[in-house]
Structure 1
Amino acid sequence: MGDTMKFAVIGGTGLIGSRVVENLDAAGHQAVPHSPATGVDLVTGRGVEEAVAGADVVINLTNSPAFDETSPAFFRSSMDNLLAASGKGGVGHFVILSIVGVDQVPELEYYRAKVLQEDILKAGPIPYSIVRATQFMEFIDAILSWTTDGETVRLPRTPLQPIAAEDVSRIVAEVAAGTPLNGVLNIAGPDVYPLDEIGRLTLTAKGDGRSVVTDDTAGMYAAVHGDVLTAGKGARIAPTHYTDWLS
């Protein structure tokens, strides 16, 4: 698309959002970041109409403040407010970032909330694209911290296919500037590893003295069955390898 388009990037100051804004600006578009810091409150609706006014495309990259039973209410009110404002403002494409396999892990409250977010978008009046990404490489440290006890990190053998935030941001920007998919694009990094192995690779690369103990009951990813969080057929594979990213 040669024409300059206007993008409202909700959650545009975060890890992915800030890079999406950079990518779109670099491509000659006008991308405006919005967040609570810029006066946008998705739950009350304050500042939402102003944020999306005049935008060709809305990209919603916001996250619920907590990953618990409050998540569904956050996604419902934020999506309802954004979709209403987008309809009023004549927005032609609405993009969200979700999680590969999100509908395969009903045990996780947060994943159920993201499925709700997807369903609200699909049922809404605006042409849409859903980009589902695997776990971010930038997020692995946090995953290790959840189940660290002293010098030991307990991790299950759940297969993951981590993707670099830079790759996610580039693809989200590309999808947002394109024709609405009215469907889902899965994206993932090039390599699948069991989470315990990711833990070992990470600690070794960082010279971190902690050791990994394989424990299939440990942490959030213990609830995941099989390889549902890996890309599967038809996914777009991003170029950055985790071992390269680590070094």
Structure 2
Amino acid sequence: MKIVVIGGTGLIGSKIVTILREGGHEVVAASPKGGVNTVTREGLKEAMVGAEVVIDVSNAPSFDRKMVSEFFETSGRNLIAAETAASVRHHVTLSIVGADRVPGQDYYRAKAAQEKLIEASGIPYTIIRSTQFLEFLGAIADASTDGSVVRLAPGLLQPIAADDVAAFVADVACANPRNEIVEIAGPERAPFDVIVARYLKAVGDPREVVKDPEARYFGGQLEEKSLVPLGEARLGRFNLEVWLRRTQKRA
């Protein structure tokens, strides 16, 4: 079947495209640099012709509050209109575990609003909420660094490898719409500071990691379980150590 992957050249999107093509599907890797822009609508109508499934793993170009909100709202509305016109049978969106549980986090707020648009669209859908990617642990540490110390809010983390995320999304896209939110996470849950400290040690980074009750997560306030599934979740294959070994072999 024909599947359009919005954000199909990014970290997750490119992996999904590969999986689906290997499975024999006709796949459009849609992105602005390929002539498909969900904000301006350039190429969007043409990309949707004959599509049965649309997967949205696109990302805002900025974390600025106004820009991220406008991106997901404008992109979401344009995408829904194009899918409706093309009679798309299944819309799949990648979102974030805790999207509605991190006060003060603008990106999460925008993703939660995107979910509401999808739920109200009338198009059969599945929303996949994922925990944070293992690939982003370095960026999290950098954003939380104060001098030579990484200050992290108390709470739990259950990071997942991008390869696992892509496999789950591709699997869901080829199944019937669930018309609900499903959650995916890594196989290991541990305190935020413990996981980041293990990551930094493994990559030879000497920064000290401390738990700081006053620290914020990209501006958001965390509770103990803000970033982990509260109920049932599909778990990935790769914990931090296995993922690091796989990453180092590819380098």
- 2:225 aligned counterpart, secondary structure: coil
Q: Find the residue that maps to 2:214 and give its secondary structure.
A: coil
Shift of 1:219: 3.7
Aligned-residue identity in percent: 47
Q: CA deviation at 1:243?
A: 2.1
Which of the numbers 134, 148, 152 marks the counterpart of 1:151? 148
SS state at 2:129 partner: strand
Q: Quick one: which amino acid aligns to residue 155 of structure 1? A: L
| TM-score calculated relative to the size of structure 2 | 0.93
Q: Distance in 1 between matches of 2:224 and 2:204?
A: 30
8 Å Cα contact 2:216/2:222 also seen in 1: no
* 1:189 counterpart = 2:212: no
The answer for the alignment partner of 1:200 in structure 2 is: 197
Deviation at 1:208, TM superposition (A): 1.3
Unaligned runs of 5+ in 1: none
Structure 2 partner of 1:129: 126
SS where residue 102 of structure 1 aligns? Answer: coil
Give the distance between the partners of 2:215 and 2:143, measured in 1 at CA: 9
Q: How far apart, CA to CA, are the structure 2 residues paired with 1:146 and 1:209?
A: 16
Once residues 156 and 125 of structure 1 are traced to their aligned partners in structure 2, the CA distance between those partners, rounded to angstroms, is 39
Q: CA deviation at 1:41?
A: 1.9
Which residue in the other structure is 1:238 paired with? 236
Contact 2:148-2:207 within 8 A present in 1 as well: yes
Does the 8 Å contact 2:160/2:186 carry over to 1? yes
The yes-or-no answer on 1:172 pairing with 2:169 is: yes
The AA in structure 2 aligned to 1:228 is: S
Q: Does structure 1 residue 225 correspond to structure 2 residue 220?
A: no
8 Å contact from structure 1 (residues 53, 86) kept in 2: no
Answer yes or no: is 1:57 the counterpart of 2:48. no
Tell me how far apart the structure 2 counterparts of residues 232 and 243 of structure 1 sit (CA, whole Å): 24
What amino acid does structure 1 have at the position aligned with 2:230?
A: G
Aligned to 1:77: 74
**Is the CA contact (8 Å cut-off) linking 1:146 and 1:219 kept in structure 2?**
no
Does 2:18 align with 1:22?
A: yes
Give 1:44 shift: 1.7
- 1:106 Cα offset (Å): 3.2
Q: Which amino acid aligns with 1:236?
A: R
Any conservation in 2 of the 1:160–1:230 contact (CA below 8 Å)?
Answer: yes
State the Cα distance separating 1:246 from its structure 2 match: 2.2
RMSD: 1.3
Deviation of 1:131 after TM superposition, in Å, equals 0.5
Structure 2 distance, partners of 1:33, 1:217, is: 42
Query: Is the aligned partner of 1:160 residue 2:126?
Result: no
The alignment covers a number of residue pairs equal to 243
Segments of 5+ residues of structure 2 without an aligned counterpart are 246-251
Partners of 1:148 and 1:229 in 2: CA distance: 20
Q: Secondary structure at the match of 1:208?
A: coil
